[in-house]
Structure 1
Amino acid sequence: MDALVQLLRLLLLLLTLPLHLMALLGCWQPLCKRYFPHLMAVLTPKCNRVMDSKKRELFGQIKVPTGASGKVALLEVGCGTGANFKFYPAGCRITCLDPNPNFEKFLTKSMAENRHLEYERFVVAPGEDMKELADSSMDVVVITLVLCSVQSPRRVLQEVYRVLRPGGVFFFWEHVAEPRGSWAFLWQQVLEPTWKHFTDGCCLTRETWKDLESTGFSQLQMERQPPPLKWLPVGPHIMGKAVK
């Protein structure tokens, strides 16, 4: 099966050779960084319609304290266009982090449409290095469909653990690899090198649940969901929460 994967990858590479040459020469990445936020702005409404009930179930677990403060310090890593904002309860003070500065204008628009939230700041940085954020400074951290495209999911999760206060909650929703040995997994292996160029680094074959299980959270709740968009090559989704 490995030989078949390599053969099919080669055929796909030949069919998409100009794209791979642009990436090799460093021409594609800057272009992708500019167009990707616009692509996400188009796809976000459709994705939210499909995942609406599950997102409400997941983020409905965010608890806002009563009393004088009544605020939750929430960090969203890989915030993108702000697709999750509408699902957060009132009383959340949002810090957004994303390595792509081109998302900021979309975030501003999303915040204007979600006045029940308080917008703290936008930090341009990779999830692997959140040095601008202090230890134990966040009540809640959210990551959705981001760990597929970072350089090191394990390092990102270590940073999430660091910035969460003791007892803080990490909410996640990620797509993961199909079962090894399946035909679906074979096609993910074939498509991945080309797919990554169109999707700002998204990997199709990551087994992210393994990184979650090894991070050291005191509690981890996770459930598996079928892929919400059947026409994409992404595999099953995992969603849940972890407590520091």
Structure 2
Amino acid sequence: MSASDLWLRDVFTKYGLIVMIVLLVSFWINYKWSKVRRNIYKAYLLGFETECAELADSYKRRLFRSLDQIVSHDETLRSMGQIRVLEIGVKTGENIQYYPDGTQLILVDWNRKLGNYLISSERSWQFSHVDFERHIIGDGSSLKKIPTGCVDAVVTTRSLCCTTSVTDTLKEIYRVLAPGGKYFFMEHIPETEGTFTRWIQTVLTRTNLWPLLYGDCRLDCNPNKDIEKAGFQKVMWKTVVLQGYVSHPIHLFLSRRHLIGTAIR
């Protein structure tokens, strides 16, 4: 046995138990931290995001009103008076109530249990007026399973901030939309430059603290210019500020400004 082998044996004999304990503790902390993160994000979705959707109800009703006027490019759906909608970042399904009866809905979300939630939960009756065509696991930056030009409308609400690439997601949205199809968006945007709130949003995002706890959400994300440059024929938008009571006012304080509008393919 060489000198180096003897040295390794001696080190392992003296410190092996300590090393094993350190490794086990590290694995345990990592497991617990992942579980804590999942619980925090779940509480965030079922709590604040649900309350936020209620505050945005009047804006969404006006935004989605034109869905009833869309005529599907798909001959079969058109003959039945239905349309195909793709939603990115479905969360707890708060937007589904605004979709016309018979809508063929494609879901894009990281939550693998989303389908079960929408079909089998105690809230499933609220989603019974639409048909769930398919569920794609992802964030919308890659929609290879969706053929080009097969979707009549795409929806994102408070979702672009969590995508791997806003630019890639918008390219995919543009691609899958049928000619004349509509993109509906309501995305939170940061406060104006130079304000204290903007500084907090930047710090929480760049330190990765906020994204780590809240589903990769970037508080400093502003997709305005990206939407304008995505190639749409016509883009219409305005900014609105959500106000009202929520159980976690700090969340609303940091994401109250929104960009809301439509873009036509």
Per-residue CA distance 1:55-74 (angstroms, 9 max, x = gap) = 11111111254963211100
Q: CA deviation at 1:202?
A: 0.5
- Does structure 1 retain, via aligned residues, the 8 Å contact 2:139–2:162? no
* 1:234 matched to 2:247: no
Return the letter of the residue paired with 1:40. L
Q: What is the alpha-carbon distance in structure 2 between the residues aligned to residue 138 and residue 171 of structure 1?
A: 13
- Does structure 2 retain, via aligned residues, the 8 Å contact 1:77–1:143? yes
- Structure number with the higher helix fraction is 2
**Which residue is equivalent to 1:183?**
196
Q: Which 10-residue stretch deviates more, 106-115 or 206-215?
A: 106-115
Q: CA deviation at 1:26?
A: 8.5
Q: CA deviation at 1:101?
A: 1.2
TM-score by length of 1: 0.82
Q: What is the alpha-carbon distance in structure 1 between the residues aligned to residue 111 and residue 38 of structure 2?
A: 7
Correspondences of 1:76-225 after superposition (within 5 Å): 76-108=87-119, 109=121, 110-192=123-205, 193-225=208-240
How large is the Cα RMSD of the aligned pairs?
A: 2.5
- Does structure 2 retain, via aligned residues, the 8 Å contact 1:73–1:138? yes
Q: What is the alpha-carbon distance in structure 1 between the residues aligned to residue 38 and residue 111 of structure 2?
A: 7
Q: How many residues align?
A: 223
Q: Which 10-residue stretch deviates more, 32-41 or 123-132?
A: 32-41
- Does structure 1 retain, via aligned residues, the 8 Å contact 2:140–2:163? yes
Change (3 A) 1:47 1:207: closer
TM-score by length of 2: 0.76
**Which residue is equivalent to 1:73?**
84
Instruction: Give unmatched runs, 5+ long, in structure 2.
Output: 1-25, 73-77
Q: CA deviation at 1:41?
A: 2.4
Helix, strand or coil at the partner of 1:203: coil
> Pick from 54, 58, 64: which aligns with 1:49?
54
Return the letter of the residue paired with 1:231. I
* 1:61 matched to 2:69: no
Give every structure 1 segment of 4 or more consecutive aligned residues whose post-TM-superposition deviation is greater than 4 Å. 25-31
**Which residue is equivalent to 2:21?**
none
Q: Which 10-residue stretch deviates more, 32-41 or 213-222?
A: 32-41
Change (3 A) 1:137 1:111: farther
- Does structure 2 retain, via aligned residues, the 8 Å contact 1:172–1:241? yes
Helix, strand or coil at the partner of 1:134: coil
- Does structure 2 retain, via aligned residues, the 8 Å contact 1:64–1:92? no
Q: CA deviation at 1:27?
A: 6.9
Q: What is the alpha-carbon distance in structure 1 between the residues aligned to residue 153 and residue 260 of structure 2?
A: 15
Identity of aligned residues (%): 28
Q: Which 10-residue stretch deviates more, 208-217 or 63-72?
A: 63-72
Helix, strand or coil at the partner of 1:95: strand
